[in-house]
Structure 1
Amino acid sequence: MIFGPTPLDEARGAILAHTVRLPGRVLKKGTVLDQAAIAALQGAGMGSVIAARLESGEVPEDEAADRLANALMGPLLARSRASTGRVNLFADAAGLLVVNPVTINRLNALDESLTVATLTSHIPVSAKEMLATIKVIPFAVPGAVLEVAELLARTGPPALSLHPFRPLKVGLVLTELPGVKESVMEGAVEVTRDRVEALCGTLLPHERVRHETQAISDALNRLRRAGAQLLLVAGASAVVDRRDVGPAGIVRSGGAIDHFGMPVDPGNLICLGHIDEIPALVLPGCAKSPKLNGIDWILQRLFAGLRVTPADVMGMGVGGLLKEMEARPLPRDLPGTAAPGPAPRRGRKIAALVLAAGRSRRMAPLNKLLVQDDQGVPMVARVVDNALASRARPVVVVTGYEHERVEAALPGRSVIFAHAEDYAEGLSASLRAGLAALPKDLDGVVVCLGDMPLVAGPMIDRLLAAFDPEEGRAIVMPTFRGKQGNPMLWAMEFLPEMMTISGDVGARHLVGKHADRVAEVEMADDAVLRDFDTTDALKKAPGFEKVR
């Protein structure tokens, strides 16, 4: 291709490289100059233009894009007409797009004149959705290059293939254990139904049974007789081994376990098996959440009629970190530092409740909350300032003993005060007073203790970021080297139980009752373990060394 300034008397048939605006007429980039166009340019006083002239054997951009698009076409694929060297490919039906990266990469490496861009492989698409675009970069492609590209596109596995979703009948076995909330069970069914229907399937009436191998096996057999083409087991307790209760139920029904685990998070603890020719899966705990997780990738392939092998599953690691999980440990944290926390999930409203009503009997005659650090800042002010430095809002401060002095220690701070009249009854009285003062539209509350001034705002934010009741993280507690600490974050679903607590205790005993709803967040230092309720203890707190 000859490119550059071209005298108008040599420009007939050349391709205009840049748009030219003339009186009463616009010649757009890519216009093939005919005699009328040349005359208009000459009439405007121009003697030359920047243009491209094709040489022997070169194929114009639209023809080249058209030919490569035809070579890439397959069942259920549609295409646009060629324009400015571009052709777009579309889905003719809803299904799973499979891209052969080897072919696409070879096409793109062939010559800079040809490019093909696609969606990610194994992604669900809807009818009419664009799947790929072919773009010729210059105004022409060497004919020999185009012929090789057409051969590559037509040889071997398709570069692009669309596998339509099949209307499978799906059987769900839901196991239960004592103490599991009814709302959790119902939610698991609804979330599964939504997943199945989104893939054009139908969820059969589910089987709800004891979390026992024989009960699961019997339920699977009933669902097979009902016509299930895909079997799912959602356990009341997450599967932890291929010989666990759920997988054992599949084996007892005459099936086999093909693979346990996957390098996708959330979704690690999935178990893949089959009974005869029917896929049978034990779902990970995160399958109770509607958010994207590993089970979606498996279901999409099964509904598209693709066989899922252990090699397929273990090849999902690249891109398998679907979101940052704040419940993970902190391998990159430096000792003694607080890792900044990301924002809580979009739409979550989480308050901070600072309990500052106690009588400070172990530090008498001092009120520990009013003891000043080396900078003259009272302990309660440091705790409240840490809460205000987090993303929790509003911040509610519960006062009781010497409430006027405590409130006076917090001037100008944007907090809500709640007074616990019966503070002498102990910690539970403070907790009830604070909970009663919370706004009604909250999703959760992080309960901070007034004598833990080392818990910084970013630490609280890590708890907020981990909080996700839909995924089973409805109670979030910090840990340091495996030891559980404070503050703790509670979903509002636990408020009725928390309001019934009495005596000098908090809500921690509810953790054992709702163990399946708890997430632990490992912290970088021991601040979450350190409360200061004696003078000797306080002298060991950074900034309080001069306390007497």
Structure 2
Amino acid sequence: MRLLPVQEAVGMVLGHDMTEIIPGEHKKVAFKKGHIITEEEIPRFLNMGKEHIFIMEFNEGDLHENDAAIRMAKAAAGKGVTFSEPKEGKVSLLSKYPGLLKVNYRALDDINSVDDIMFATLHTNQLVEGNTVIAGTRIIPLVTKEEKIKSIERICSDKYPIVQVLPLQNKKVGIVTTGNEVFYKRIEDKFGPVIRSKFDKLGCTVEKQVFAKDDSEYIAASIKSLIEEGVELITVTGGMSVDPDDVTPLGIKKAGADIVSYGAPTLPGAMFLLSYINDIPVLGLPGCVMYNKITIFDLVIPRLLAGEKVTKNDIVKFGHGGMCLQCKECRYPNCSFGKGGLY
């Protein structure tokens, strides 16, 4: 690149996109990289505050910002990810469809440790809609050495993918609703409709809901009956606290479940239980899932639907960032809830 006064750049090729900002009106690219500058355009450049212009002149081994950003985006993009054309030197990565965003954040550290490079993403393990901007990358100067971009490509190749979106599976769901008060129809079930609504939004089908009294053997039998009918994920609602009549955890254990975690470092959601019977997740859901908009349910279920096996270590990591602020207007997932403890 060569720097020239704008008056001396007439007839030369612009080396990068030039942005025009008019407060209250627009911010847009006025002149794109490769534009041939004319004398008539000099006043506009000056009004934009551009008294000097970078003209394209490359040395051997140089790489322009646009080309560098495209190569980095292409190297990092995994399943379910596409990317935009460069704009002002930046390339955006976008989700092809709704799903669970996965970011290799350790590899991301390696990328951002290379001089001249930046690569920013949304937080890993969150749901994203289709055509959502999930990351962006560029180099800091207008030109960098190609060898630096090759080093980024090697990192991406060794630790591929850096960014991907996993589609959610349409699992068959079974619900066991516990509690004598509901079983004997003393009160109306309020938990089931909430769970159905949540799974509907995630693209899943609730195949069957059964009601169980506060008896661990009865709860275990209810869970087994749903498995026999072919469900692929079971939620057991209610009876998760420490009251004498709350026997749901024991019922889940008697059904043959391998308990991963009883308790989670999240609020709301502390009394959550995660277990598996073979490969079928069986979840004990505390009452907060019925009353609170966002809970541990919303952190764990998308990962299960994306085909992940959630571990005790995954649950432990929820503690840093596991406090929901109960905002008057919920902004989840654009908030801190469930987004700490990665390292």
TM-score (norm 1): 0.52
Q: CA deviation at 1:7?
A: 6.8
2:63 aligned residue (36, 59, 65):
59
Select 1:212's aligned residue among 210, 215, 227.
215
Structure 1 CA distance, aligned partners of 2:285 and 2:120? 34
Secondary structure of 1:148's counterpart equals helix
Residue type of the alignment partner of 1:8: E
Structure 2 residue aligned with 1:397: none
Which has the higher Rg, Structure 1 or Structure 2?
A: 1
User: In the alignment, which residue of structure 1 is the partner of 2:24?
Assistant: none
Higher relative contact order (CA 8 A, sep 6+): 2
1:15 maps onto 2:15 in alignment: yes
Counterpart of 2:90 in structure 1 is: 86
Q: 1:99 is matched by which residue type in structure 2?
A: V
**Unaligned stretches of 5+ in structure 1?**
21-26, 325-342, 348-548
Alpha-carbon distance, 1:346 to partner: 6.2
Is 1:186 matched with 2:219? Answer: no
1:220 CA drift (Å):
0.5
1:106 aligns with 2:110: yes
**Structure-2 change in CA distance of 1:138 and 1:28 (3 Å):** farther
What TM-score do the two structures reach when normalised by structure 2? 0.81
| SS of residue in 2 equivalent to 1:224 | helix
Q: Which moved more, 1:176-185 or 1:226-235?
A: 176-185
Over residues 195-247 of structure 1, what are the superposed CA-to-partner deviations in whole Å (9 max), with x where a residue is unaligned?
Answer: 11121111122111101100101100111111110111112x33349xx6222
Seq. identity, %: 26
User: Aligned partners of 1:303 and 1:132: how far apart in 2?
Assistant: 23
2:237 matches 1:234:
yes
User: Cα distance 1:314–1:40, how it changes in 2: closer, same or farther (>3 A)?
Assistant: same
Q: Is the 8 A contact 2:240 2:272 kept in 1?
A: no
Q: What is the SS of the residue equivalent to 1:110? A: coil
Shift of 1:85: 1.3
Alpha carbons of structure 1 residues 260 and 12: separation in structure 2 relative to 1, 3 Å: same
- Is the counterpart of residue 124 in structure 1 residue 123 in structure 2? no
Alpha-carbon contact 2:173-2:208 (below 8 Å) kept: no
SS of 2:189's equivalent? Answer: helix
For 1:294, give the aligned amino acid. I
SS at match of 2:150: helix
Contact in 2 for aligned 1:267/1:286 (Cα 8 Å): yes
Instruction: Give the C-alpha shift of residue 322 in structure 1.
Output: 1.5
Correspondence for 1:248: 250
Contact 1:239–1:270 (8 Å) recurs in 2: no
Shift of 1:274: 1.2
Look up the match of 1:280. 282
Q: Does the 8 Å CA contact 1:250/1:274 hold for their aligned counterparts?
A: no
Give me the whole-angstrom Cα distance separating, in 1, the residues matched to 2:93 and 2:66: 15
The CA deviation at 1:42 is: 7.8
Pairing 1:274-353 to 2, within 5 Å after superposition: 274-289=276-291, 291-323=293-325, 345=328
Deviation larger for 98-107 or 263-272: 98-107
**Aligned residues: CA RMSD:** 3.2
- How many residues of Structure 1 are paired with residues of Structure 2 in the alignment? 316
Q: Cα–Cα, structure 1 residues 298 and 42, in superposed 2: closer, same or farther, change >3 Å?
A: closer
- Contact 1:302-1:308 within 8 A present in 2 as well: yes
What is the aligned partner in structure 1 of residue 166 from structure 2?
163
Corresponding residue SS for 1:258: strand
